[in-house]
Amino acid sequence: MSVRLINVSKIFHDPSRSEGEVIAVDQVSLDVAEGEFVTLLGPSGCGKTTTLRIVSGFEAPTEGEVVIDGRRVNDDPPNKRDTAMVFQSYAIFPHMSVEQNVAFGLELKGRPKAEVRDETARIMEVMGLSVMAKRRPDQLSGGQQQRVALARAIVNRPKVLLFDEPLSNLDAKLRDQMRLEIRRIQQTFGITSI
């Protein structure tokens, strides 16, 4: 599924500033082909996260168009965009096991129990998480938690996968390993990724 941003801007109104507003994203245009992996680079505060939030539907652009798979989605809520986001903080549920975390999205969508079980097992195998299925997040390393977050995102087979600084909480060695792992998973599933 392709993603296209056409002159997208996001302005936040801030009465505490003399200008009264903050331009978080300024006329961004971007084309991401189906199955492509694109990385947004820039300093802190330049609008990378806001751009991802606009693609996902968590933020509405002030102006411009967001087009996913050839269809304008500006007014579509996040659950109608067929995207998944992997956050910097991983956002995995601390009270659930690895298996429960991965299965959560499928259960939320009301999938049949057999499908939830089979698809969860398949994704956990691909991600190397099967041996830790019953562990809780506090029993996992940072890299293992990152893999759980990624597995939870891809188990629903999104057409677009969005990463918001997914490696920033990892040490340098693990960051290099996970960078390769994310690329391998992206190529395995052919998910358009930003």
- pLDDT per residue of the chain (194 residues) written in tens, 0 to 9: 899 999 999 999 877 777 778 999 999 999 999 999 999 999 988 999 999 999 999 999 999 999 999 999 999 999 899 899 887 767 789 999 999 999 998 999 899 999 999 999 999 988 889 999 999 999 998 888 888 988 898 898 889 999 888 777 777 777 788 788 888 888 888 899 99
pLDDT confidence of residue 181? 81
> How many angstroms separate the CA atoms of 76 and 66, rounded?
10
pLDDT confidence of residue 179? 82
Answer yes or no: are the C-beta atoms of 86 and 161 closer than 8 Å: yes
Greatest distance between any 2 Cα atoms in the chain: 58
> How many angstroms separate the CA atoms of 153 and 63, rounded?
28
pLDDT confidence of residue 168? 75
DSSP state of 146: H
> How many angstroms separate the CA atoms of 83 and 87, rounded?
13
Say what the pTM is.
0.84
Answer yes or no: are the C-beta atoms of 156 and 109 closer than 8 Å: yes
Which residues, other chains included, contact 88 with Cβ-Cβ below 8 Å and sequence gap of 6+? 164, 165, 166, 168, 169
Neighbours of 45 (CB within 10 A): 10
Domains detected in the chain: 1-81 (3.40.50.300), 82-194 (3.40.50.300)
DSSP state of 132: G
